[in-house]
Structure 1
Amino acid sequence: MFLTLSFSLQVLSQAMALTSGSHWTYEGAHGQEHWPETYPECGLQAQSPINIQTDSVQYDPSLVPVEPEGYWDIGSNFFTLTNNGHTVQMSLPQSMRLHGLPRMYSAVQLHFHWGRKGTADGSEHQVDGRAFPAELHVVHFNSDKYANVSEAKHQPDGLAVLGVFLEAGNEENPAYNHILEQLDDIKYKEQEKPVSAFNVRDLLPAHLGQYFRYNGSLTTPPCYQSVLWTVFQQPARLSDAQLQKLQRSIYSTAEEDTPPVLLADNFRSLQLLNQRVVFSSFPTGPSGYSAAEITAIIFGVLLSCLGIFLAGWIVAKRIREKRMQEQKGVVFTSSSRRAVAD
């Protein structure tokens, strides 16, 4: 029991290391526009999140499906769920790993970003300008090269994050209840609760082979540009009641602070792509064609139509000219015959 508790505290400490430092908020005097003043990397050129524009992503057939390991076979007896004042965060053991990336990555924590009830915004990433009500991030560090997340977090190849869009559906998602049903026990900042281990794979979309991939940053201070992002194309679906539970249950203030401040709209504004390339593991155009292929097809069809139009116009012109010549011949012949008769 002591070893399990010690291990969980170690993992939690590593998870908190990602967002430790001076006070910051999403709005106000310490809001997003002021982050670079305290955290210089927040003002650099390879920041996250971004708007993923499917007509400009580059299809890369070498991108293989993401393969989680140990997500469903958890060695510890519980996770630690925490309200850190910025989000709901759950520690994860390093025995959870990812295959299918350039390196082996081990899990650190997962957390959420969300908006307010009745609004479409909430996710950090967007696709073609479309936002989702919420987004799940599962954070991993490069365990092939680094001993822990504290060592890896500021290295260019240090982190890998899975991004999962959350959208409203007609049915309840039982996997998310492992977390959402505990929120009343961590209403206030710095409160935490042990959560019985469960199959974390069930939080992810059913299909892990279709995703967008790009190099970016942490979306919260210190904004280290060390993240290999994998944003899944398929969202996970929660019921309206589940989404509202996330949107309306948590405060960003401590229990003794009054009045309590609802924790919502904890998503960073979109960042410029700045010449970075977003790759996709699947063709993003309809009928299996990429955006570039679709453009080439449309251009080819237009040229073909133009060619057909010009050919038709030339044929019609020649037919008209021929008919005019024939009519002139008939008139000339008739005139000649009248002249002879006279």
Structure 2
Amino acid sequence: MTSIFFLAALLWPTRLCSGDWCYHSQFPCDTCKGPDEWTSLFPTCGGQSQSPINIVTRRVQYDPTLTPFVFEGYDTVSSITVQKHENNVHFVLPPEVGVQGGGLSGRYKATQLHLHWGIDGQPGSEHRVDGEQYAMELHIAHEKEQPKSEEDDNEHAVLAFFIEESGERNEALDYLLNAMNSVLYSGNQTSIDFRLNDIIPAASDLSGYYRYSGSRTTPSCEQNVVWTVFFRTIPVSRSQLNSVSRLWAAAGRNSSRTFRPTQRLNGRTVSCSTSALFVPWTALVWLSTTPCWDLL
């Protein structure tokens, strides 16, 4: 038995380093490149419209076209495939799930959702607000249904939700974490029955959000993403935060701190919707039709 664990320890670095790119915590590794080196493999990762970003609220501009979203299929229980990739877990969503409105140019069908996290409950969100990094971040990715062109910088729409520590356990998030824990190795997959509305805030609480144009936050970092970052956060307990970074410890891998550092804004505009301004929970949440920048 001891020899088996010894062999696994020898093979673990090779398996961990098998991909071309990796996150911070996956060093030391001679064959995988961290975020600072992604551009050597994927030049687009050095573009001028990269994600994630730090949202500076005093520079946000009000945009009256950012109306409430119409969520389709979010309230339906769907069979979702859970796939382990080299650096994360994807929950593959059916095309019946989608969004319209919210200033988007047509309907976008859902493709997958995934999480980004830190280590042992430390901050792990990709986006930041006024420099504050949240505990985790949930991304629900969508793809434009209409025919797309190579020049289309709105091909994908990602809905981003900050996950913030709370005193209560989030049972819906537990369901996702348990599924993640059942696919330990790259290429593993399973399926679950799940409803997106069980994990995200109610639609009536999602009229307040930030909007900007950016990129995928993983290689090859294509700059064709319309980002929506919601004000309202998702609660999670400390024990759940601690468990996330240890999900694959039993498989001999370090899969914590799965987030890309923030990127330069490079003159891009960050807009906000008409209905609310989010200030971290230690302060206040205003619900108003006043333009965002008038509340700063």
TM-score for the superposition, normalised by structure 2: 0.81
1:193-212 correspondence to structure 2 within 5 Å: 193-195=190-192, 197-206=193-202, 207-212=205-210
| AA aligned opposite 2:262 | L
**Equivalence for 1:86:** 87
Larger Rg: 1
The question of whether the paired residues in 2 share the 8 Å contact of 1:80 and 1:91 is answered with: yes
**Equivalence for 1:185:** 182
**Equivalence for 1:96:** 97
Match of 2:253 among 233, 258, 261: 261
**Equivalence for 1:8:** none
The question of whether the paired residues in 1 share the 8 Å contact of 2:52 and 2:217 is answered with: yes
Does 2:108 correspond to 1:105?
yes
RMSD: 2.4
Could you tell me how far apart the structure 2 residues matched to 1:210 and 1:55 are? Answer: 16
| AA aligned opposite 1:96 | V
**Equivalence for 1:67:** 70
**Equivalence for 2:167:** 170
CA gap of 1:170–1:221, structure 2 versus 1, over 3 A, is: same
| AA aligned opposite 1:47 | Q
**Equivalence for 1:116:** 119
| AA aligned opposite 1:247 | S
What SS does structure 2 have at the residue aligned with 1:179?
helix
| AA aligned opposite 2:132 | R
What SS does structure 2 have at the residue aligned with 1:45?
coil
Could you tell me how far apart the structure 2 residues matched to 1:291 and 1:104 are? Answer: 26
- Which structure's residues are more often strand, by fraction? 2
Could you tell me how far apart the structure 2 residues matched to 1:177 and 1:90 are? Answer: 14
1:1-342 correspondence to structure 2 within 5 Å: 23-27=20-24, 28=27, 29-74=32-77, 78-100=79-101, 101-119=104-122, 121-146=123-148, 155-195=152-192, 197-206=193-202, 207-250=205-248, 260-282=252-274, 284=277, 290=291, 293=294
Could you tell me how far apart the structure 2 residues matched to 1:98 and 1:291 are? Answer: 23
| AA aligned opposite 2:157 | A
- More relative contact order, 1 or 2 (CA 8 Å, 6+ apart): 2
Q: Percent identity?
A: 36
The question of whether the paired residues in 2 share the 8 Å contact of 1:81 and 1:194 is answered with: yes
The question of whether the paired residues in 2 share the 8 Å contact of 1:85 and 1:263 is answered with: no
Structure 1 unaligned regions, length at least 5:
1-20, 296-342
Could you tell me how far apart the structure 1 residues matched to 2:196 and 2:295 are? Answer: 38
Distance apart, 1:85 and its partner CA: 2.4
- Per-residue displacement from partner, 1:61-95 (whole Å, max 9, x unpaired)? 32111221012224x5x211122121121000000
Distance apart, 1:293 and its partner CA: 4.0
- Which structure's residues are more often helix, by fraction? 1
Could you tell me how far apart the structure 1 residues matched to 2:152 and 2:33 are? Answer: 26
Distance apart, 1:176 and its partner CA: 1.6
Could you tell me how far apart the structure 2 residues matched to 1:94 and 1:216 are? Answer: 23
Could you tell me how far apart the structure 2 residues matched to 1:182 and 1:140 are? Answer: 21
- Per-residue displacement from partner, 1:212-238 (whole Å, max 9, x unpaired)? 000000000010000000000111001
- How many residues align? The count is 260
CA gap of 1:291–1:61, structure 2 versus 1, over 3 A, is: closer
Distance apart, 1:271 and its partner CA: 0.3
Distance apart, 1:249 and its partner CA: 0.9
| AA aligned opposite 2:272 | S
TM-score for the superposition, normalised by structure 1: 0.70
Distance apart, 1:142 and its partner CA: 0.3
The question of whether the paired residues in 1 share the 8 Å contact of 2:61 and 2:269 is answered with: yes
Distance apart, 1:193 and its partner CA: 1.3
Structure 2 unaligned regions, length at least 5:
1-17
Could you tell me how far apart the structure 1 residues matched to 2:91 and 2:293 are? Answer: 41
The question of whether the paired residues in 2 share the 8 Å contact of 1:106 and 1:142 is answered with: yes
Could you tell me how far apart the structure 2 residues matched to 1:26 and 1:198 are? Answer: 28
